[in-house]
Structure formats: C-alpha cells, structure tokens
Structure 1
Amino acid sequence: MVRYAKEHKQVTRQRIIEKAGHRFKQDGIDGSGISTLMSDAGLTNGAFYAHFSSKDDLVAHVVADELRNQIAMYDTLQPGRQGLEDFIRGYLAPQHRDDPGSGCPSAALLDEIGRCGDATKQAYTDGARAIVEEFAARLAPGDPASARGKAVGLYTMLVGTLQLSRALSDPKFADEILERGVENALALLH
C-alpha cells in the first residue's frame, strides 16, 4: 500500500510538471497561476504543496524536465550533421513557431527564465550546456571542443530566430525570418 502511494505521488508529480511545461510555454510563467496549473493536471490547488514547496520550485523542475525531453529527442535524429540539418528545418518551421506550448522551452521562456531564481537558472544552464554539447558532438564527432563556438552560435541563432518570428504580426515577414534562419543555420554548419 505504501509503495502504491509513493508511485502514485511520483506519477502525479510528473503529470503536474508536464502540464505546467505546456502551460508555461503557451501562456508564460508569470501568466500561469497555481490554480490554472493544478486544474490542467486535474487536481485541486490544495494538492500543489504536497508536490512542490513553491511555484519557483515547480518552475525549476519544469525547466529541467523540458530541456531533458528536448535533449532526449536528439537521439531520434539521424547521426551527425544530417540529424542537425533535419533538426534545424523542423525547429525553424512555421508549425513549431505557431505551437509554442508543444515546442522549445528556450524560445518560449527565455526572457522569463532570466528573471527567475537560482534553481531555475541552474536547471536552464545545465540543459543549455547539454544542448550545446550535443550540437558540438554532431559538428565534430572526433573533437567536439573544436566546434563549441559554432555550436553556441547555432543554438543562439535558432532560439533568437524562432523568438523573432513569433513576435511579428506580418505572417509573410515571419515566414521570411524562418526561411532566412534556416539558410543561415545551414551555412553555419559548413
């Protein structure tokens, strides 16, 4: 019975983290109250503190989880540069731009993460470092350290391009930003 309760609590906690991740990316961290987050998870407000000490605690766990999931997705890509090329095209696609709730946590939350506490910033730093390392390993499998600068440039270019495209009201200009972003990112690979 105790074992079930512990497993159930962990499953419930993970459901809150996953639902909060989607909501944060869709509406922003500041735009997502605890009552909305718990409702999304099918729970009452009172259950929140059985899982997290504060909203900041939840945010740090969500950021870590979102980046872990993004990094795990890289394992589904083709090896090497070809996988990066495929990733770039998918990342800078109108579908990704138009669905922030299901997309990249960096492009959706970066400005808010910069105003968060140390735990959230550390979770983000760890995830961002892992993404840069993944890019570098794909760019130069024999010597990832040599490709680190290019990997940092690629990461910042992708996130910034997606953020800019999302901010524009002119759909043609927003699409042009994505198209040029793909061209520029692919040029950076070579």
Structure 2
Amino acid sequence: MQHPSGEGGTVARYGTEHKEATRRRIVKSAGRRLKKDGLDGSGVTTLMADAGLTNGAFYAHFASKDALIAATITDQLQEQQALLRQLADEPDGFARFVRAYLSPEHRDDAESGCPSGALLDEVARSSPEIRRAYSAGILGVADDLATLMAPGAPGTGRRQALGCIAILVGTLQLARAIDDPQDSETVLAEGVRAISALLATPEH
C-alpha cells in the first residue's frame, strides 16, 4: 500500500535497511560471544541479549541457532579476508600477519581473534550447515593468504596457503592450551619457524 505522503518506497527501504542493520548487529556480537564461550557455551537468549534484543526477535532474522552460527562464521572469515587484502598493499604484510597471529596478545584474546583458532575443533563436530559455511569461508581466506604470501605471484597457491593456515591455527590452539607462559611462547616461536620452513620448501 502506498504511504499517504507518497513515500511508500522510502518506508519500505527503511524497514529493510533497519532489519539488515539489526541482523548485522546480532552477527557481530555473536562473533565475540561464540569465540569467547564456544558454539555451545551460550544459548539464543544470551546471544540476543548481547545484541540488545529480546529472545523473541531471534526468528525474525534466523531460522535456527545453527543458521546464526553459520552466518557469524561467514562474517568472521570475511573480516579476515579483508584484513589480508589490506596487508597485501604492504611489503612486509605476510610477516606482519604471522607475527601478529602467533603473538601472546592474540593467544590471550580469543574473543577478538581468529575464528579458526577459537572454534575449529567445535566446527569439526558441528552440523553440515555450519561446516559448509566454514569450508567456503576458509578457502576464501586461503586464496587471499596465497596472494599475501607471494605478492604478484599467487601461483604459490591455495595448497601452500592451507598448509600455512594449518600451522597457524594448530600452533595458536596448542599455545592456548599450555598453562606455562614460557612453554606457550616457545610454541608460538616454533610456529613462526615452521612457517618459514614451509615457505622455503619448493612445492612438488
């Protein structure tokens, strides 16, 4: 129905834009909560409260909690891709990324960090919907990482980038699990060495 002022289209656009903004707010706050507490650590009520919304509003935006988790993982990995693309403009972008990823600061701040480092083990045991979202997202990350690893020569390829991701994520998870700070930092340092060795090994 046309709005009496003749601005029905504007009202409709406002409604759509408002709903999309609300959805984005839910996804962003869920990203922090899920990385902090895990996929099963919080229910819908907590996730909605983090976004400043009531539990009853959830199904206006998502069909299920798994749908929210899948959307959140997609968003988190897209943010990581955006970061990698920014670093691609810097001559030492890859080295900076590795140092920041395998740093004590990142180890101690799962809530603001990499979704793979915080959630990978749970994703592996989650629903097909969540695993599909993660799989698509991490392959996109790998492609952008490949470009960052070899600027101007992305022939380094997805395979080596996936190997790099495996070292980064595995190192971070192990460093977080070890309770002795010195041993934990040794793990981080060895992860950096492992990536250097990976890059020095020709692909076959």
| TM > 0.5 | yes
Find the counterpart in structure 2 of residue 187 from structure 1.
197
How far off is 1:114 after superposition? 1.1
Find the counterpart in structure 2 of residue 64 from structure 1.
74
Find the counterpart in structure 2 of residue 86 from structure 1.
96
> Which of 101, 107, 112 is equivalent to 2:117?
107
Matches of 1:178 and 1:81, distance apart in 2: 23
Find the counterpart in structure 2 of residue 149 from structure 1.
159
Matches of 1:29 and 1:10, distance apart in 2: 23
Find the counterpart in structure 1 of residue 173 from structure 2.
163
How far off is 1:84 after superposition? 1.0
For the 8 Å contact 2:175–2:188, the answer to whether it is kept is yes
For the 8 Å contact 1:25–1:108, the answer to whether it is kept is yes
Find the counterpart in structure 1 of residue 20 from structure 2.
10
Kindly provide the CA deviation profile for residues 99-134 of structure 1, in whole angstroms up to 9, marking residues without a partner as x.
Answer: 001000001001111122222111111111112212
Kindly provide the CA deviation profile for residues 47-88 of structure 1, in whole angstroms up to 9, marking residues without a partner as x.
Answer: 111110110110110010000011011122144772111100
For the 8 Å contact 1:97–1:165, the answer to whether it is kept is yes
How far off is 1:186 after superposition? 2.6
RMSD, matched Cα: 1.7
For the 8 Å contact 2:84–2:148, the answer to whether it is kept is no
For the 8 Å contact 2:87–2:148, the answer to whether it is kept is no
Matches of 1:161 and 1:67, distance apart in 2: 19
- TM-score normalized by the length of structure 2: 0.87
How far off is 1:159 after superposition? 0.4
How far off is 1:189 after superposition? 2.5
For the 8 Å contact 1:166–1:174, the answer to whether it is kept is yes
Find the counterpart in structure 2 of residue 96 from structure 1.
106
Matches of 2:91 and 2:158, distance apart in 1: 14
For the 8 Å contact 2:36–2:110, the answer to whether it is kept is yes
For the 8 Å contact 1:21–1:66, the answer to whether it is kept is yes
What amino acid sits opposite 1:106 in the alignment? S
For the 8 Å contact 2:84–2:145, the answer to whether it is kept is no
* SS of alignment partner, residue 30 of structure 1: coil
What amino acid sits opposite 1:96 in the alignment? H
* Segment of structure 1 superposing worse, 130-139 or 85-94: 130-139
- TM-score normalized by the length of structure 1: 0.93
Gaps of 5+ in 1: none
* SS of alignment partner, residue 139 of structure 2: helix
* SS of alignment partner, residue 92 of structure 2: helix
- The 5 A counterparts of 1:123-142 are 123-141=133-151
What amino acid sits opposite 1:174 in the alignment? S
Kindly provide the CA deviation profile for residues 21-72 of structure 1, in whole angstroms up to 9, marking residues without a partner as x.
Answer: 1000000010011111011000110011111011011011001000001101
